[in-house]
Structure 1
Amino acid sequence: MDTSKPEDLTARNFPTAEEDAHAAKPPSRYDGPKSAYRLAFTDTEFLLREELRPVRMQLELLKPEMVQTELGIESTIVIFGSARILPPEVAEARLAQARAADDAPLVRRAEAAMAMSQYYDEARRFAGLVTERSRTLETPIYVVTGGGPGIMEAGNRGAHEVNGKSIGLNIVLPHEQEPNAYITPELCFQFHYFALRKMHFVMRSIALVCFPGGFGTLDELFETMTLIQTGKSRRRPILLFGRAFWEKLINFQHLVDTGMISPGDLDLFHFVETAEDAWSRLAEHYGFDIAPTETGEFADDI
């Protein structure tokens, strides 16, 4: 009598791709670099061919999406800003060195960097605030940055310092390729395609918080504002840190006066100065700080 365990009715009828990938060892005759014997999905040279671009783009869409879904990440706040903004302690040390060298142009640049370093601290504090205060929400909020230095590092660092997870969406560049040390490892992604990286910034975001920055920051800011302005993306808060910086950089009123944008488009964003100010804006918009009886099943009775 056969006493072996009965076969599982739901067992796979075919081996998985992973099993075949590990099992498929080519005979020595077909193990050379020019052999076409390798499975297509394990053949890196094949996957990197020009004709396979649509497949690579699909992979960059799917990998971060699937990982975040598996980890239960539904809502994010995006922090944009310059990679060049230094931590205050670093800026202070460079200013001291410049003054010691008695180099006037170097001192001017170091003084400017010292003034801008305040935004590193605010980004760090804001990320910590978001991470701590959203823990008790039904859907926690995760900070997401571009994963590099400067403001991006400050955002990931703020979340890390309060024992929270945060996301980094790195891009392969001739410089700034190394992700900062504060991103949660299982949420540190690398992209080749800018367009797909920017799509992932927006897909789960409930707000965009933009610190001073250069071309890259402006690109990310205006693409998001355009998506909202044109109705291609749902409306969400856009907070610009540092009114003085933004109003000197961009004359928004001139765009209205010349008919380039509508007066109502100025409502797409708000200026904030501190981490607490930014959180208050978000709390007001989403009702984060409202008592449960005002937001839960008894809200209609109030």
Structure 2
Amino acid sequence: MPKPPSKNRPSKDVGPAAQKPAEPMDVAPDFSLDAHHAELPPEVEANRRAIINSPTYTLAEKDTEWLRDSSMRPVRMQLELQKTEVLLTREGVKSTVVVFGGTQIVPREEAEMRLALAKEELDNNPDDHGAQRGVIRAEARLKKSRFYTECRAFARLVSQRCQTDGQCEYVITTGGGPGIMEAGNRGAFDIGAKSVGLNIELPHEQEPNPYITPELCFQFHYFAMRKFHFILRAAALVVFPGGFGTLDELFNTLCLRQTGRMQAIPIILYGREYWDSVIDFQKLADEGVIADEHLELIDYAETPEEAWGIIAKFHDVK
């Protein structure tokens, strides 16, 4: 088993919600009680109130409008980096198993419902190309619904093996959204284990899936900071079928491993039939744009047990 986390963990009372006495600078003076101000000429009193209410007089740490200014982007990025790092440390998360995959891969019953709706739409519009494509796509999603079930089982298996006796090693970490991400967090939730969700602010509203450990759910504005935290504690990456976002995260990790810019981890593509149909890695090597040994950065798995076996062997987990 992985070594247990350090016993020198901060007490819970140092969390962000902990109460502390207000510092002198946090206590606003009650200007209304100052008799002297009642004697000021009206125009001076108006100016005094304008001073007190001016945004420039707001403490920088409390001035959210200022923090949103474009000039403060480096500060906002640092805050996203530091907040997540501090709180993961406080929760004792030592290492993670990162799970990527598509948002559209849903449980079988939901996939069946979506297919039924697509067929109904086609029945009503038999000559509509969009309706025809809708059925084809819904059938493909139904075929891949097994990955939701298997991802959930994988996350449950990893959490059972690595979150015992207070340990927080190999904590399942996802992007916090629906689909495969939900399945990963749900598997840990099934057995009462912790899991992390690194959500991202998007143009359309997205709520985190309901299976993430509340204290370990984070929202990011910057993809770069989110990607950094995916990799920082990663002991393994397991990639289920997905689209642009999944491919982006996969190739980001492959590039970092190829160039030696991150720790050695297994990168496991789950469901080889899908991955072979989407990406011809061998062709990249044959064309000479990657080295033959770079193909060894990738492993393949077809079952939750096989995926965990690759991770356990890589890290010599008994």
Unaligned runs of 5+ in 1: 1-15, 290-302
Per-residue CA deviations over 1:17-56 (Å, capped at 9, x if unaligned) read 9635641357472587643211111111111111111111
Aligned residues: 274
Instruction: State the partner residue of 1:83.
Output: 103
1:109 to 137, 148, 151: 137
Unaligned runs of 5+ in 2: 1-19, 33-48, 127-131
Per-residue CA deviations over 1:145-181 (Å, capped at 9, x if unaligned) read 0000011111111110111111000110013521111
Q: CA 1:141–1:30 in 2, change beyond 3 Å: closer, same or farther? A: farther
Instruction: State the partner residue of 1:224.
Output: 253
Quick one: distance in 1 between partners of 2:24 and 2:176?
35
Instruction: State the partner residue of 2:8.
Output: none
Quick one: distance in 2 between partners of 1:196 and 1:18?
31
Q: CA 1:33–1:125 in 2, change beyond 3 Å: closer, same or farther? A: farther
> Please, which moves more after superposition, 44-53 or 98-107?
98-107
Quick one: distance in 1 between partners of 2:252 and 2:300?
18
Would you say the 8 A contact 1:26–1:37 is kept in 2?
A: no
Instruction: Say if 2:165 is the partner of 1:161.
Output: no
Quick one: distance in 1 between partners of 2:252 and 2:287?
21
Per-residue CA deviations over 1:185-211 (Å, capped at 9, x if unaligned) read 111100011000000000000000101
Quick one: distance in 1 between partners of 2:92 and 2:266?
23
Instruction: Say if 2:176 is the partner of 1:147.
Output: yes
Quick one: distance in 1 between partners of 2:99 and 2:145?
16
Instruction: State the partner residue of 1:46.
Output: 66
Would you say the 8 A contact 1:21–1:42 is kept in 2?
A: no
Quick one: distance in 1 between partners of 2:99 and 2:79?
24
The CA RMSD measured in Å over matched residues stands at 2.1
- Report the CA distance between 1:120 and its aligned residue: 0.8
Would you say the 8 A contact 2:163–2:171 is kept in 1?
A: no
Q: CA 1:82–1:17 in 2, change beyond 3 Å: closer, same or farther? A: farther
Q: Secondary structure at the match of 1:164?
A: coil
Instruction: Say if 2:261 is the partner of 1:257.
Output: no
Q: CA 1:286–1:245 in 2, change beyond 3 Å: closer, same or farther? A: same
Instruction: Say if 2:52 is the partner of 1:24.
Output: no
Per-residue CA deviations over 1:73-123 (Å, capped at 9, x if unaligned) read 111000001111111110012223444555472332221110111111111
Quick one: distance in 2 between partners of 1:150 and 1:176?
16
TM-score w.r.t. structure 1 length?
A: 0.85
Instruction: Say if 2:100 is the partner of 1:96.
Output: no
Instruction: State the partner residue of 1:133.
Output: 161
Per-residue CA deviations over 1:216-270 (Å, capped at 9, x if unaligned) read 1111101111111101112110000111111111111111111001110010011
Would you say the 8 A contact 1:80–1:217 is kept in 2?
A: yes
Correspondences of 1:210-289 after superposition (within 5 Å): 210-289=239-318
Identity %: 52
Q: Secondary structure at the match of 2:99?
A: strand
Quick one: distance in 1 between partners of 2:141 and 2:189?
24
TM-score w.r.t. structure 2 length?
A: 0.81
Name the amino acid aligned to 1:282: I
Q: CA 1:46–1:26 in 2, change beyond 3 Å: closer, same or farther? A: farther
Name the amino acid aligned to 2:161: R
Name the amino acid aligned to 1:67: L
Would you say the 8 A contact 2:55–2:63 is kept in 1?
A: no
